[in-house]
Amino acid sequence: GACRARCRRRSGSGRRAAAQGRIAMSLRRALRSGVAAVCIAGVAAPAAVGVAQAAASASPLQVRTGQGKDFSHIEFRWAGGARMTSRRDGQVLTVAFSRDAKPDIAELRAMPPRWVKKAEARHVNGRLEIAFTLTDDADAKVGVADGAPFVNFFKAPDKPATAVAAAAPERTRPNPIPANGAIKVSAEKAGLAVTLNFDFAAPAGAAVFRRGEAIWIVFDAAARLDAGAIPASSAQYSKVQALRGAGYSALRVVAPEATLAMAQAHGSRWSVTLGPRSEGRFDAIRLARDLNSNPAALTAVVAGASPVVWIDDPAVGDRLMVVAALGPAKGMPGRREYVDVAVLPSAQGLAAEVRAPDLAVNVQGDLVQIGRPKGLSLSLASAEGLATAQGAGDLAAASLPSLISPDWAKTAPHGFLKQYEALFNAMAVEAGTGSPGAPAPHKARMAMVRFLIGHDLAFEAIGMLNAAARADQTLMGDAEFRGLRGAARTMAGRYKEAEADLSTAVLSDDPSAALWRSLIAAKAGNWEDARAKYAEGQRAFADFSPVWRARFARSAAEASLALGDYVGAGASMNQALTQGVGPEEQLETRLVQAKLLAATGDKKRALAVFQAVARAPIEKVSAPALLYASQIQLETGVITPSQAASTYGQVRYRWRGDATELETIRALGSLYLDQGKYREALEALRSAGQRLPDLPEAVLLQNDLYSAFRGLFLDGLADGLQPIQALALFYDFKDMTPIGAEGDQMVRNLVRRLVDVDLLDQAAELLKYQVDNRLDGIPKAQVATDLATIYLMARKPEAALQAINESRSTLLPNALNAERRVVTARALVSLGRLEAAGEIIEADTSREAQDIRAEVAWKGKTWPQAGGLYEKALGERWKSPAILAADEEGKLLRAGVAYSLADDDASLARLRGRYQGFIEAARNPEALRVALAGVGEGVVGRADFSRATADTQTFAGWVARMKQRFRDKPSPTGPAPTRQASAAAAKG
């Protein structure tokens, strides 16, 4: 402290004389430093004092330290300003100022920040210098910010290597052919499909395509394909023929037309599945006219392309052009006919029939260019192709841009696939008619889009439209393009994207677009908007098919129902019920009708309808019907909560992927909360994750989840759990902790409970997570201070110092800085660094600092000072008859021992006279009796004091005081709501 003294044990009058000399010296030093009252009180009989406040430093210079992840920051704030210069000598950086001061750098000396070994202040020719010794791996930079000079310390960058490595040779693919030159082909059968596996020594390029009666499997390695282990024929194929040529090996598999191929790459293995359907996905290869080439050519983008190989087809006798490629799978979704070449449909790679003898194929990286010396003839392949292309335009546009014409769903006499192929070939021909600067027309493409939308192939239609928009940006202003893409996106459940299309200016007056917007608004829970848009779209209502009329009317009924307009809901229901649609649509309408009955109070009829719909073999309607029926049964007492929870659990896993799933999870979570099953409730609510985020039910579910978590850990619903149970629950769901004051208060509430039951390690871990992951600046420093306090309570002073050091900041308020210095000083005392601890609190007159000063004197065996400080801390406690608290008893014990060891009989007698009556009711009366008896009266010897000084009551008293401080710290969020309100919020 300010009146530190170094005492040696003396006896008799010599000791008293030395003490008097020290008193005089301390008094003079105290007068100079402005803390005379403290020093006098520390060596004389104590007087009653109030709670001391931290004294403001008289120095014109404040040294502030901040700690970041990658640097340490030391800032010098001068009253009146000062210039700073610097010099570097090895690892010693010296900063010099244009004026002198006596800065407080006790904390820098006691706990140097990262990348600093030590700091030392010097006064040279009336100027202040501070020398920093850097660690071996550190560097530093000086500067000025906001008028304050600063130094940043950080890890020095690694020195560049002196030797320069030789440039690596160009890398090539590893050789995929095994040492024996053979690739063994294996077969696996699963249901109606068979999978052929090809295991190479390294990844190989592959091409899989159909030509006529055969499926070709080609690899860019001239290995011997050993197909002896696979069946010679099966239901999927009738013949397998192995071929090998320059740079390739292949299997030609004769297979029925209904057999489809799917290719998959797994490292160095290729798997080709042959079956009645292809469930695999592949990226579509983009093949288009090369606008940068003259003469005309085609360019395909084939990622991981191999050099072109030319294969003679033994069945036809002509040549095939094949470009294999590395996985993952990428292929051509359909055949592309040109005069000079026909590109074959493929599941992997690129293959084509060659019609021109001088056809040239050039592979450069991922680009494959197909051309001829005088250019390709990119025109119609034949009169038959011309007729097909003209026939593709029969799907005429509807009368309104967003209308789906009922005629589009009609299938041509020659069948769906033939019509699809005709439309696709027409698109291919149309794509080849463009020229540089003039995009190809899109008449055939829009015909294909109408065909796809008419057959409910929304995703395919979206892909076609997006590709058209990339090729011709002017389409973005076309009303039909925007209307059909908006309709397709709505059908696909992409409501936000659909709304962007349907809300464009070109569709502002389109009643058909208004109906789609009504449906989108209902899906988003914007009920008022849904009703308004439905009314706007009535002019186009009759032009849609009965199915879409029923769907639009049903969504309008749901909107009116949500708004409490039961009359309007009934009118829209009547519209939906009279459309003459199929059974599935009728069941969905009846489901909404039952909701209306339940809302109007007719629970009995509603339950009957729900139960009838629940028996339907269509899960899409039976699952929600079962949910709603069980909710009515629970509400009316027909079933118990346990039975309801069982039903909800069945529905939850029986139907997934739409609002029904989210509604079921909400109902289950609410049921668990009502039963006090908090973990089950949180697990149920969180199980939905971020699924279906565009649905209004998703927002409600997330609100339920956070309300439940908030009610548990902010409003006290979890207080009934054991602290360790509450902690486990919090850890399992800590990702739901809100950012800001509410989240911090949740943690504080839990920490308080853990500290109360001495689960200090768990409390520290909780706060450390906050410090490391959630907080910055002043909040981080505040929580880190609490963390350091808990470390001290757990007798971990090193960890306490680390928590303080890693949360340093130059922007902390004075009160928080004072608190952190006290915590730092107490940690240093625990580590035996008494002089450093005394320096840090030298100017602090608070109660905590006085206690630390007494601890420093006690551990430093300066008994007269220790006795005086402990007695001063007790004040006039002797005047109150109440039993001594633990920390008061510890201070009295130490005061008596210190006076005895200092041979201060007068002070000991005074202490004994005042506190004799407290001995019998004390927690440790024998130790207290020994301490107050003294050595000279023959009652006890000096050896007895070893037992008294080993007492831990002082520490236990400080711990009790800290626990109370955690209880009393005010909430940053204000008063918490009642538990009833929390429970209501959790239920939604």
pLDDT mean for each 10 residues of the chain (988 residues): 36 40 37 29 30 48 88 90 90 92 87 91 92 93 87 81 38 83 92 91 94 93 91 89 93 91 92 79 81 81 93 88 94 82 92 90 91 75 41 71 90 81 80 60 88 93 90 88 96 93 92 95 91 94 93 94 93 91 91 93 93 90 91 91 87 78 83 82 75 66 79 80 84 78 82 87 89 87 93 93 91 90 93 91 89 90 91 91 87 89 90 91 84 62 52 71 79 40 40
Residue 479, Cβ density class (10 Å: 0-12 exposed, 13-18 middle, ≥19 buried): middle
HEC assignment per residue over 708-722: HHHHHHCCCHHHHCC
Report percent pLDDT > 90 for the chain: 42
Q: Is the peptide bond before 295 cis (omega within 30 degrees of 0)?
A: yes
Cβ-based neighbours of 264, under 8 Å, separated by 6 or more: 270, 271, 272, 273, 280, 327, 328, 329
The pLDDT assigned to 315 comes to: 86
CA 129 to the chain's CA centroid: 47
The pLDDT assigned to 394 comes to: 54
Closest by CA to 206, choosing from 90, 128, 303, is 303
Under DSSP, is residue 399 helix (H, G, I), strand (E, B) or coil? coil
Dist CA 575 CA 554 (whole Å) = 8
Dist CA 711 CA 732 (whole Å) = 16
HEC assignment per residue over 756-791: HCCCHHHHHHHHHHHHHHCCCHHHHHHHHHHHHHHH
Dist CA 655 CA 660 (whole Å) = 8
Name the amino acid, one letter, at 788: A
Dist CA 334 CA 320 (whole Å) = 17
For the stretch 169-179, what's the b/e string if a residue is b when 16 or more beta carbons lie within 10 angstroms of its beta carbon? Answer: eeeeeeebbbe
Cβ-based neighbours of 456, under 8 Å, separated by 6 or more: 491
DSSP letters, 21-82, are HHHHHHHHHHHHHT-HHHHHHHHS---------BPPP-SSEEEEEEE-SS-EEEEEEETT--
Dist CA 476 CA 939 (whole Å) = 103
Question: What are the beta bridge partners of residue 65?
Answer: 74
- Residue 740: which region, alpha, beta or left (left: phi > 0; alpha: psi -120 to 50)? left
Dist CA 22 CA 651 (whole Å) = 84
Question: What are the beta bridge partners of residue 325?
Answer: 206, 305
The pLDDT assigned to 16 comes to: 40
Dist CA 880 CA 870 (whole Å) = 18
Average pLDDT over all residues of the chain: 82
Dist CA 679 CA 685 (whole Å) = 10
The pLDDT assigned to 930 comes to: 81
Tokens read off for 792: 């001290």
Cβ-based neighbours of 505, under 8 Å, separated by 6 or more: none
Cβ-based neighbours of 658, under 8 Å, separated by 6 or more: 620, 692, 695
Strand order across the 61-67 sheet: 61-67, 72-78, 148-155, 138-145
